[in-house]
């Protein structure tokens, strides 16, 4: 009798344990599984949108910085019209003509001036900038080839060459006076020493 009761108790405990394990290991219901999947999808979509937004912001910042750098150098590659000053056929006066350049830059201005014999083909601009204190004053530093070319001229030729350079850069950079130097030093020729600031040279007439 005792053995029978003992076996019955063991059997009852065994059935109770299996029943409890079955309840705790029940799988998620269909509704719970769908809700979990939707939540995961929403999180993934949100993360993707945030990543795309970050990339777009970084791209815009990079583009704005590049545009700012180009504009600060005066080399935005946009076509614009400038006036080029040079000597007339009799070499007794300064005239000018309008040309179109791809971006306002000292290199483009020098290239156009070389075409009308105001500078030599190997002349370069070392630096050009507007004075911080006086916004109407331009600083223009030329390579040694400019002073060598200028020294080859007579008095009238020197006036035309220097006037063509000065008037072209003052007009292009909207200034009223310019300090011209060569390799950082005072411009000197066989006829004069140009230590001070230069203003617009008198224009004889426009090109016909």
Say yes or no to pLDDT of 122 above 90.
yes
The pLDDT value recorded for residue 53 is 54
Q: What is the pLDDT of residue 190?
A: 87
Is residue 160 pLDDT above 60, yes or no?
yes
pLDDT at residue 168 greater than cutoff 50: yes
User: Which tokens belong to 204?
Assistant: 């004889």
Encoding tokens for residue 25? 């290991």
Average pLDDT over residues 77-94: 92
Residues 175-202, mean pLDDT to the nearest whole number: 96
179 close to 194: Cβ distance less than 8 angstroms: no
So where are the chain's domains? 30-72, 79-199
Tokens of 10: 């063991």
Q: What is the mean pLDDT of residues 47-74?
A: 48
What ranges in 84-154 are assigned the alpha helix state H? 106-115, 144-151
Do residues 118 and 159 make contact, with C-beta atoms less than 8 angstroms apart?
Answer: no
Rg (CA), the chain: 41
Q: Mean pLDDT across the stretch 99-111?
A: 96
d(CA 80, CA 43): 51
């Amino acid at each position: 009798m005792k053995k029978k009761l003992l076996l019955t108790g063991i059997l009852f405990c065994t059935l109770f344990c299996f029943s409890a394990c079955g309840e705790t290991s029940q799988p998620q219901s269909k509704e719970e599984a769908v809700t979990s999947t939707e939540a995961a999808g929403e999180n993934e979509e949100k993360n993707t949108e945030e990543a795309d937004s970050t990339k777009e912001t970084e791209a815009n910042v990079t583009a704005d910085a590049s545009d700012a750098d180009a504009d600060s150098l005066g080399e935005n590659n946009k076509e614009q019209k400038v006036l080029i000053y040079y000597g007339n056929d009799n070499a007794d006066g300064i005239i000018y003509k309008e040309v179109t350049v791809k971006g306002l830059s000292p290199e483009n201005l020098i290239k156009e001036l070389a075409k009308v014999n105001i500078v030599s083909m190997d002349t370069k601009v070392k630096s050009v900038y507007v004075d911080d204190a006086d916004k109407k004053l331009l600083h223009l530093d030329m390579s040694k080839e400019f002073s060598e070319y200028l020294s080859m001229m007579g008095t009238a030729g020197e006036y035309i060459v220097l006037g063509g350079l000065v008037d072209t850069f003052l007009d292009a950079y909207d200034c009223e006076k310019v300090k011209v130097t060569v390799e950082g030093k005072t411009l000197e020729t066989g006829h004069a020493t140009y230590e001070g600031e230069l203003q617009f040279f008198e224009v004889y007439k426009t090109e016909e």
